[in-house]
Amino acid sequence: MIPLYAYVLLAAALFAVGLLGVITQRNAIRILISVEMLLNAANINFVAFSSYWGHADGYAFALFAIAFAAAEAAVGLAIFINLFRLRETVDVTALAAMKG
């Protein structure tokens, strides 16, 4: 049996990698992938603790989070497709039109 701390440490590592991707990458697609990694780290924690406590709410929340991530990825990709048609780039540092 895998102990609980292994799940939590895996989720923490996945969250750290995803956060590093979000704050360092400039390609919008890579940032989307990193955001998915953040959501999946949270899902690992949901499922691990749900199984640990023998309570099914965490499974349901993880399923809802997966569906939400699908919707978010679809809308984000559509936005970036339009952005690429407009500006010929998905480099987020080049998109400073609304920068304060």
Contact predicate 43/65, CB 8 Å: yes
User: Binding of another protein at residue 88 (CB under 8 A)?
Assistant: no
Binders in 12-41 for another protein, by CB under 8 A? 12-13, 15-17, 19-20, 23-24, 26-27
Among 32, 38, 78, 86, interactor with another protein by CB under 8 A: 78
Residues 47-76 that bind another protein (CB under 8 A): 48, 50-57, 59-60, 63-64, 67-68, 70-72, 74-75
Selected from 91, 97, 98, 100, the binder of another protein by CB under 8 A is: 91
| Nearest residue to 28 (alpha-carbon basis) of 69, 77, 71 | 77
81 counts as binding another protein under rule CB under 8 A = yes
Distance CA 38, CA 56 (A): 22
